[in-house]
């Protein structure tokens, strides 16, 4: 029988949730969901100085926005110190770990010596077999007895076989600091093992931790999980993704009017593919995602691609779904009469929800001012005259298509072209020369409102 897939996302709450972190979370989530397994969320908040409740909330908020659910309740490492203590004691009792009484000065001296000899700084094992009386006044750290030579090898689901030479990477590293607090590598191993995590998908910035963690799994007698190390996302210039390339905070994307559907679709493709397909819903991904198809190199972050996906989802999602996001941005189209009609009008060419909100507002609200450049270009004696005729002849409410026929007849009669009327009319109705199909706007606003707005511009500019 295949082992149950249990994955986890284990962020350290030091700030907002980075989009690289969201991609890691997504891959873990999808792998668990695809296999009917479990996806856990564990907050690694043992560094009390660097972690904050605010950052934890930011992570939870981002999960909620993206509709990523996790199994069970959120685990907090800060509440598990007793468990770590127990396992540290176990290793001490079994002689697999030991107290080290080296002072900071001694450690510094050792490091300088090694640096002078151009050696990698590492602990020299001087307390490994210490049997004497410990020096007074020193609170010891606890170190693991790590292998001293040979290789540590594992099969990475992304990178294939990964080999580390013990001499290059290991020493008897610290598992508990002098204040008794456990170190990162130790807590991760204990938690992953006790929580039954079968597969660890994480950024390859953790690759060098993996041999240390394998040493700990083995010392503790736990089964080593399968690892998948993801190549970091980089910008189009090949450099590691940073603020310089654009927003990195997940919630900043929400504020920019990006849909979570688009962001997740975008992130899943940064390092994973399924044929030539580009569009994936979360539901579909839950059926097809396989981390064994993650590529060794991540593709580059491209905001254009994200916008392209966003435009796709804006075009295709249901009114209720889009409106929920709009509400999250403080704008509710269900409170607007014919709001759904208006959304259909606007969604065809919007790249983000902010554009929709701005256009919707410019249509719903009678203009208080007019775009200066547009006025200069399109409003003059001739166009105002044409608007006046149009206002007079506008007689009854119609569908957009019928407004088009009506307008064509009007243009013929006055021997002018659509371009002579369309822009001045747009300015009159919405305040600027950019709006969706003018006939749809006429239908949405209705004859009475259109007449009122044309009269207003005639009065102000006439
Ligand atoms: N807490 C670690 C981090 O935020 C992740 C640990 C892991 O995935 O093993 O980088």
**pLDDT tier at 118, thresholds 50, 70, 90:** very high
- pTM of the full structure: 0.94
pLDDT above 70 covers a percentage of the chain that reads 100
Q: How far apart are CA 249 and CA 260, in angstroms?
A: 13
Same domain, 301 and 442: no
For the CA of 9, the closest atom of ligand 1 is 8
Of 30, 58, 64, nearest in space to 45 by CA:
58
pLDDT averaged over every residue in the chain:
96
Same domain, 199 and 248: no
Same domain, 426 and 331: no
Going by alpha carbons, the residue nearest to atom 7 of ligand 1 is 10
Average pLDDT of the segment spanning 221-245: 93
Structure tokens at 456: 């207003």
The burial of 159, by beta-carbon neighbours within 10 Å (0-12 exposed, 13-18 middle, 19 or more buried), is given as middle
- Does residue 76 form part of some domain? no
**What confidence tens digit (pLDDT) does each residue in 403-447 have?**
999 999 999 999 999 999 999 999 999 999 988 899 999 999 999
Same domain, 225 and 187: yes
Distance 294 CA to ligand 1 centre (A): 19
43: Cα separation from own chain's centroid = 17
Residue of 41, 202, 213 with the most ligand 1 atoms within 8 Å of its CB, for mutation: 202
Answer for the pair 163, 132: CB distance below 8 angstroms, yes or no: no
> Which stretches of 321-386 are assigned E, i.e. beta strand?
none
Same domain, 300 and 428: no
422: Cα separation from own chain's centroid = 41
The burial of 49, by beta-carbon neighbours within 10 Å (0-12 exposed, 13-18 middle, 19 or more buried), is given as exposed
For the CA of 202, the closest atom of ligand 1 is 8
How many structural domains is the chain composed of?
Answer: 3
The whole domain housing 288 covers 243-360
239 catalytically annotated: no
- Does residue 365 form part of some domain? no
Instruction: Choose the catalytic residue: 49, 243, 304, 459.
Output: 243
CATH code: domain of residue 425: 1.10.10.350
- Does residue 13 form part of some domain? no
Q: How far apart are CA 272 and CA 144, in angstroms?
A: 37
Give the pocket of ligand 1 (CB within 6 Å): 10-12, 44, 188, 202, 206
- Does residue 52 form part of some domain? no
Distance 24 CA to ligand 1 centre (A): 10
Same domain, 352 and 455: no
Q: How far apart are CA 137 and CA 308, in angstroms?
A: 64
365: Cα separation from own chain's centroid = 34
- Does residue 59 form part of some domain? no
Distance 10 CA to ligand 1 centre (A): 5
Of 235, 233, 214, 238, nearest in space to 225 by CA:
214
Distance 116 CA to ligand 1 centre (A): 33
Q: How far apart are CA 240 and CA 259, in angstroms?
A: 24
pLDDT at 218: 98
- Does residue 238 form part of some domain? no
Sign of CA dihedral 133, 134, 135, 136: negative
Distance 151 CA to ligand 1 centre (A): 24
- Does residue 55 form part of some domain? no
- Does residue 143 form part of some domain? yes
Same domain, 334 and 273: yes
Structure tokens at 248: 């990195």
Same domain, 384 and 408: yes
Answer for the pair 269, 294: CB distance below 8 angstroms, yes or no: no
For the CA of 209, the closest atom of ligand 1 is 9
CATH code: domain of residue 279: 3.40.50.620
**What confidence tens digit (pLDDT) does each residue in 142-157 have?**
999 999 999 999 999 9
Who has greater pLDDT, 342 or 48?
342
Distance 64 CA to ligand 1 centre (A): 20
Same domain, 218 and 96: yes
Q: How far apart are CA 44 and CA 38, in angstroms?
A: 19
What's the farthest any 2 CA atoms get from each other in the chain? 109
Q: How far apart are CA 243 and CA 178, in angstroms?
A: 37
pLDDT at 399: 96
Domain final position from 311, 326, 360: 360
Q: Which residues contact 441 (CB under 8 A, 6 or more apart)?
A: 345, 363, 426, 429, 430, 435
Domain final position from 230, 263, 295: 230
Q: How far apart are CA 39 and CA 25, in angstroms?
A: 9
Helix axis angle, 260-268 to 19-34, nearest 10°: 80
Backbone dihedral region for residue 118 (phi beyond 0: left; psi -120 to 50: alpha; all else: beta): left
**What confidence tens digit (pLDDT) does each residue in 303-358 have?**
999 999 999 999 999 999 999 999 999 999 999 999 999 999 999 999 999 999 99
For the CA of 192, the closest atom of ligand 1 is 9
Domain final position from 360, 381, 407: 360
Do strands 97-100 and 141-144 pair parallel, antiparallel, or not at all (unpaired)? antiparallel
Q: How far apart are CA 204 and CA 232, in angstroms?
A: 7
Same domain, 86 and 191: yes
Residue of 23, 46, 189, 206 with the most ligand 1 atoms within 8 Å of its CB, for mutation: 206
Same domain, 92 and 220: yes
**pLDDT tier at 243, thresholds 50, 70, 90:** confident
Same domain, 120 and 177: yes
pLDDT at 308: 98
Cα distances from 278 to residues 24, 66, 81, 308, 379, in angstroms, run 19, 19, 44, 11, 44
Residue of 45, 188, 232 with the most ligand 1 atoms within 8 Å of its CB, for mutation: 188
Q: How far apart are CA 462 and CA 458, in angstroms?
A: 5
Beta bridge partners, 154, equal 162
pLDDT at 1: 61
**pLDDT tier at 393, thresholds 50, 70, 90:** very high
Q: How far apart are CA 129 and CA 98, in angstroms?
A: 8
For the CA of 14, the closest atom of ligand 1 is 4
pLDDT above 90 covers a percentage of the chain that reads 93
């Amino acid at each position: 029988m295949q082992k149950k897939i249990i994955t986890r996302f284990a962020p350290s709450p030091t700030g907002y949730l980075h989009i690289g972190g969201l991609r890691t979370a997504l891959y873990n989530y999808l792998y668990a969901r695809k296999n009917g397994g479990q996806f856990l969320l564990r907050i690694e908040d043992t560094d009390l100085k660097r972690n904050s409740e605010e950052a934890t909330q930011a992570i939870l908020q981002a999960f909620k926005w993206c509709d990523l659910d996790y199994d069970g309740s959120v685990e907090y490492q800060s509440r598990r110190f007793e468990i770590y203590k127990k396992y540290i004691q176990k290793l001490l009792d079994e002689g697999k770990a030991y107290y080290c009484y080296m002072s900071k000065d001694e450690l510094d001296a050792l490091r300088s010596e090694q640096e002078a000899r151009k050696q990698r700084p590492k602990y020299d094992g001087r307390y490994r077999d210490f049997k004497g009386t410990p020096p007074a006044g020193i609170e010891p750290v606890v170190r693991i007895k790590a292998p001293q030579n040979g290789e540590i090898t594992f099969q990475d689901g992304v990178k294939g076989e990964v080999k580390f030479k013990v001499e290059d990477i290991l020493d008897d590293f610290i598992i508990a600091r002098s204040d008794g607090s456990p170190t990162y590598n130790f807590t991760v191993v204990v938690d992953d093992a006790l929580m039954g995590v079968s597969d660890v998908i994480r950024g390859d910035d953790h690759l060098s931790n993996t041999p240390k963690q394998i040493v700990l799994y083995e010392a503790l007698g736990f089964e080593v999980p399968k690892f998948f190390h993801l190549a970091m996302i980089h910008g189009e210039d090949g450099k590691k993704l940073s603020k310089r390339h654009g927003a990195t905070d997940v919630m900043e994307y929400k504020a920019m009017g990006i849909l979570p559907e688009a962001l997740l679709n975008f992130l899943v493709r940064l390092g994973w593919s399924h044929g030539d397909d580009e569009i994936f819903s979360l539901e579909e991904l839950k059926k097809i995602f396989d981390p064994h198809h993650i590529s060794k190199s991540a593709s580059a972050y491209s905001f254009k691609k994200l916008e392209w996906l966003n435009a796709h989802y804006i075009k295709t999602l249901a009114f209720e779904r889009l409106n929920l996001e709009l509400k999250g941005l403080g704008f509710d189209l269900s409170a607007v009469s014919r709001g759904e009609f208006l959304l259909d009008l606007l969604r065809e060419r919007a790249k983000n929800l902010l554009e929709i909100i701005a256009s919707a507002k410019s249509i719903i609200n009678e203009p208080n001012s007019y775009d200066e450049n547009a006025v200069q270009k399109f409003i003059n004696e001739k166009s105002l005259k044409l608007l006046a005729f149009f206002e007079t002849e506008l007689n009854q409410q119609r569908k957009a298509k019928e407004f088009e026929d009506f307008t064509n007849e009007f243009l013929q009669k006055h021997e002018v072209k659509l371009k002579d009327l369309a822009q001045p009319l747009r300015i009159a109705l919405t305040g600027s020369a950019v709006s969706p199909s003018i006939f749809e706007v006429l239908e949405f606003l209705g004859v009475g409102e259109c007449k009122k707005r044309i009269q207003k511009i005639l009065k102000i500019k006439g």
